[in-house]
Structure 1
């Protein structure tokens, strides 16, 4: 795992394979996808073509961007429609979830968690854990659409206050409410890292 700050060429998005009950979540996926493409970045994501996953990928593709989907074989029919997978620029089929997560990490320069379920939560928490352990310095973002991640952020603050988030300066995700602000904030945070050497900044926009 690379511990150094690297240029942002690709963004990994963790999000739900279901649409959820708030239509703003699907729209946020589309907006973020378009923004990734418009900034000349590549999308790395879980390969799903349904739910918020599908919205992010379609947003990138509609704006002429590049999409790499990474999905384990056993989820091919659960999270994706097989014929839709052919629309992706690159599809990587892994043996299991562990390999999927490793591939996503290695191919991404930043990580964004949009609304999702337990799987989305597990993925972004693992990335935060690796940051706390000093294994990477890649930007991490909670796309806090309509306050979706507020309970999680309160829990992180509680754990920090109770002294359980050691090296807390390494676990400072961006918290951004508007999907169109996510990519610009990632780029800005990387520039800040290059100037002051910190692992990240906290922003609530």
Structure 2
């Protein structure tokens, strides 16, 4: 399975890096391919390192203005002209999505992938990896959207939540 991971390129606390490394090693050891933003810094690097160390394949999709931060030893690296093209390539190359901790870029990617799924433009599984309750607020907001009729399909059909990497991968593999 080609698993797209959205996450931060920032250097983060061990609570996040340890969880990311554990999840990445599961991806690689189970023979899956990581599809990611191609960056070789921060949490993105941690994930790519873990997948590669465990024998998984790396497919990066970078963007021209970030090309200097792209991972040199990825199995495949695509460089797009814009962020919109990057997101389109990530969607095309992935069989499933996992949203890990991140900032506004990660949130942008997450909401776009959920919006496309909401409109039936893809049916790929999406899991929010809720490390240390990072996405508790988003989970509550999405539940409210669902309860008040803002979502045209049940929240459980749109996205699943996982507390750790093993649960996230289990959800994807059983989808």
TM-score normalised over the length of structure 2: 0.94
Please identify the structure whose Cα radius of gyration is greater: 1
Equivalent of residue 156 in structure 1, options 120, 125, 142: 142
> What CA distance in whole angstroms lies between the structure 1 residues aligned with 2:91 and 2:135?
22
The answer on whether the counterparts of 1:132 and 1:166 sit within 8 Å (CA) in structure 2 is yes
The answer on whether the counterparts of 1:61 and 1:67 sit within 8 Å (CA) in structure 2 is yes
> What CA distance in whole angstroms lies between the structure 2 residues aligned with 1:169 and 1:120?
20
The answer on whether the counterparts of 1:140 and 1:174 sit within 8 Å (CA) in structure 2 is yes
Quote how far apart the aligned CAs of 1:60 are: 0.6
> What CA distance in whole angstroms lies between the structure 1 residues aligned with 2:170 and 2:148?
33
Call closer, same or farther: CA 1:102–1:170 in 2, change over 3 Å. Answer: farther
Unmatched 5+ stretches in structure 1: 1-8, 191-205
Q: Give the aligned partner of residue 42 of structure 1.
A: 33
Q: Give the aligned partner of residue 30 of structure 1.
A: 21
Quote how far apart the aligned CAs of 1:162 are: 2.0
Equivalent of residue 51 in structure 1, options 39, 42, 47: 42
Quote how far apart the aligned CAs of 1:180 are: 2.5
Equivalent of residue 68 in structure 1, options 59, 78, 88: 59
Unmatched 5+ stretches in structure 2: none
Aligned residue-pair number: 175
CA RMSD of superposed structures (Å): 1.4
Q: Give the aligned partner of residue 17 of structure 1.
A: 9
The answer on whether the counterparts of 1:10 and 1:108 sit within 8 Å (CA) in structure 2 is yes
> What CA distance in whole angstroms lies between the structure 1 residues aligned with 2:145 and 2:132?
23
The residue correspondences of 1:1-205 to structure 2 (distance < 5 A) are 9-20=1-12, 22-77=13-68, 80=69, 85-168=71-154, 171-188=157-174, 190=175
Quote how far apart the aligned CAs of 1:96 are: 0.7
TM-score normalised over the length of structure 1: 0.81
Q: Which moved more, 1:165-174 or 1:123-132?
A: 165-174
Q: 1:99-136: CA deviations, max 9, x gaps?
A: 10000000000000000001101111111111110111
